[in-house]
Amino acid sequence: MEFDVIEPQLPEQEHLDGRLEKRIQRLKGILHTYKHAKIARDVLIEISNLSERTSSLQDFYKEVHLLLKKIIAADNFYVASLCPLTEDIELIFFIDEEKPNRDLIKLENISELLKLGLTGYVIRTGQTLLCDRAKFKEMIAANEVKQVMDPLVNVWLGTPIIRGEQVLGALVVQSYQQGVTYSDSDIELMKFICQHIAGVSERIEHQHSMEQAITIRTNELIHTHNELKQEITERIQAEKLHKTLFEIASLCHDDLDDEHFYQKLSKILKQFLGDGNCYISLYDPENHSLFFPFCAQDDKNKQVMPKQRPFSDGLTEYLMKCEQALLLDKSDLSHLVEDKQIYQNMDCCPIILDISQWMAAPLYIDNQINGVLALYHSNPDIEYHESNLELLNFVAQQIAIAIERKRAAGIMQQNYQNLEREVKRRTSELAKANRELKKEITLRRKMELQLIYDANHDPLTGLPNRAMFMERLEQAISHIQRHPERQFALMFIDLDKFKRVNDTLGHIEGDRFLIETSDRLKMCVRQNDTLGRLGGDEFVVLLDSIQSPLDAIEIADRILQLLSNPYMLSGKKFYSSASIGIAISSTETEETEKLLRSADHAMYQAKAKGRGRYEIYQSPH
C-alpha cells in the first residue's frame, strides 16, 4: 500500500523576513526615541544645574550651546539682547559654522539689521517663531520683516527671552542643511532654556548689583577708615599743637626773668619738635647785633652756635630781609652763597655746609621783624614740607606774641607807679572838668528850653503864638477827621478900644492892658482848651471836644462878661469890650486857614452889629 506524504503549509520565508525587519526597525525607533529622551532629560537637568552654579552669562551660553548640540541642530547659535534704555539689539553670544558670518557681531549697524529681521520680529512680538524659506518669503510679502536673512539658511528658530512681561532678547538656532527641521519638543526645549537664561541673567544682575554695592560700600568704609585715621592723626597733632601753644601763652603770665623765660620756652619747643636742631634769634637794636636766647642741637652737630654776633648778611638776616617764612634745601643754600646774597661780609657758618634743609619763620615783635625761629637737619631721610612750614610759622607767631607780652609786662611794671600817679592827677582834673561840664550842660539845656518856649509863645503875654496855635489847630482837624463824631470850636477875639489906649495912654499901658486881658481870658477857658495871641489885640481860643455849639456860646458869654469889667490904667478906670467870632468844626473841615477866616468873618459880623457881642459863622451853602 502506498501512502502520500503531505508537507506542512509554512508561511513564505520572505514574508516572515519582512515582518521581522519591520519589527526590528520599530524597536530601533523606539530605542532611538528613548535614547533621545534620556539625552534630552540629561541635557535639561544639566542646564538646570548649570543655571544655578554659573557666574557668567558667557560661560552659561557656551555650556548651553554644547549641551543643545547633543539633541538638536544647534551648530549655528546666537543670543540677542535688547537694551531697555536705547532699545538697541546686540549679539552678546554668536557661533556660526559659515565663516563669512563670524564677523556679523562686529558690524556697526547690527542693531538696525536685527530689528528689521526675524530676530527683531521675535523681540517685538514676544512670540516664538519657526521659519523656513517659504514662510520667510510670506513674511517679507506681508511687510513683517525685511530681506536681511542669510539666503543660505534653510530653517530658523527663535524664542523670546522673557522675564515677567518684559522681553529681554531672543535665543536663536538656525541650520544651513537641507532636510533639517525643528519639532515641537525642540521649541519647548528652547523655551525652557530661555526661562533659565532669564533667571540666570536676573540672578547674575542681582549678584552684580550686590557685588557693586558691596564694592561701593567697601570703598566707602575704606575711605571713611582713612579719613578717621587722618582725623585721628590731625587731632593728635592738633592736641599737641594746642598744648604747646597753651604752654607758650602761659609763659606770659609767669613772673620770670629772661633767663628762666627762655629756659622754659626751650623745654616746650623740645617737647613739640623733638630732639632736632632749632634756634631762636633776636635782634638787639642798641648793639645792632643778633643774640640767641634758645638753641637746641642734636648730637651730630659738633659746632656750637654763638650766644651773640654782629648783625651782618647771614641766613638769619636774609630771612629778616625777605620778611616771610622760608623752606630751603641744600641746593637753595648753595645758590644763595653763589649769588652772593649771604655770607659775603662774614664767615660762612660751618653748620650751613652740612644742612640738608633749613626752615624758618620771622618773629613779628612790636609790628616789625625782630627775630627768627629756625629748624634745620642734615638727615637725608627727613623731609620738611609746606605744611611743616605753615605750622612753624604759626608757632613763631605765638612765640613772638609771648616775647612781646613778656617785654610789655616788664615795661608795664616799670610804668605802673607813674601811671597810677598820672591817673590820680587826671582823675581829679577830670572830676573838676565833669562838674564844670555838667553846669554848662544844665545851662545850655535851660537855654534850649527857653528858646523853644520863646519860639512858640508870645513874649508879652506868654500865650501860644500864631505858629504854636496853628499847630494845635491842625492837630484838632486831624483828630476829628479820624473821629467824625467829635467837634471843636474856634473863637476869634478882637478887643475894642485897644487903639485908643495906645494913643492916649501910651504903649506901656497898652501892654498892661493886653496882659490883664490875657489873664482874664485864661480864667474863662477850660484846662484842655488852647488860648493864643495872634498879634496886636487879636486873641484866639481853640475849644477842644465840645458837645454842641452851646458850649462855645457859654464860654463866649463868660469872656464878654469878664472883659466888660473896668481896667485900672494910669490910675483911671477904663472900660473895654470885645467882638467874638465863632466857627464850629464839621466833617468837611480840612484847612486851618479856612477855619480861621470863617471865625474872623464871624468876628467882623459881630463888630458890625455893635461890638461887645459874638457871632457864630454860618456857611453860605
- pTM here is 0.38
The pLDDT of residue 86:
87
Pairwise CA distance, residues 469 & 525, whole Å? 15
Q: What is the rounded CA–CA span in Å between residue 409 and residue 315?
A: 31
Residue 379, Cβ neighbours under 10 Å: how many? 12
pLDDT at 5: 45
Q: Copy the grid coordinates of residue 296.
A: 637746641
Q: Which of 585, 607, 587 is nearest to 596 (CA)?
A: 585
Q: For residue 408, what is its C-alpha cell?
A: 610789655
| Pairwise CA distance, residues 103 & 136, whole Å | 23
**Angle made by CA atoms 77, 80, 83, in degrees to the nearest 5:** 170
Cell of 96: 556660526
Considering the candidates 75, 458, 537, 600, report the single residue annotated as catalytic: 537
DSSP state of 100: G
Residue 299 confidence (pLDDT): 54
pLDDT recorded at residue 99: 53
Cell numbers for 423: 591817673
Q: Tell me the residue ranges of DSSP E strands in 477-612.
A: 489-495, 530-535, 538-543, 567-569, 572-574, 578-584
The residue type found at 550 is L
Mark out the alpha helices in 325-465 (DSSP H runs).
330-338, 350-354, 386-456
Amino acid letter, residue 270: K
Residues β-bridged to residue 236: none
Phi, psi of 340 (to 5 degrees): 60, 35
Cell 522681553 identifies what position? 167
Which positions of the chain have pLDDT values less than 70? Answer: 1-17, 28-29, 31-40, 42, 50-52, 55, 98-108, 147-151, 252-255, 273-276, 298-305, 347-353, 621
Q: Whole-angstrom Cα distance, residue 353 to residue 333? A: 9
Q: Tens digits of per-residue pLDDT, 182-222?
A: 888 888 888 888 887 777 777 777 777 888 889 899 999 99
Amino acid 332: pLDDT: 87
User: Cα 346 vs. chain centroid, distance in angstroms?
Assistant: 57
As given in the structure block, the three cell numbers for residue 236 are 593728635
Q: Kindly report, residue by residue over 265-288, the tens digit of the pLDDT.
A: 777 777 776 666 888 888 888 888
Domains of the chain: 29-209 (3.30.450.40), 265-413 (3.30.450.40), 466-616 (3.30.70.270)
DSSP 3-state of 403? helix
Which candidate, 32, 150, 20, places its Cα nearest to that of 94? 150
Mode of pairing for the β-strands spanning 489-495 and 578-584: antiparallel
Query: Is-catalytic flag, 537?
Result: yes
CB 428 within 8 A of CB 434: no
Helix (H), strand (E) at residue 162: strand 155-163
Residues forming a β-bridge with 310: 289
Q: Are 579 and 560 in contact (CB under 8 A)?
A: no
User: Which three-class secondary structure state does DSSP give residue 593?
Assistant: helix
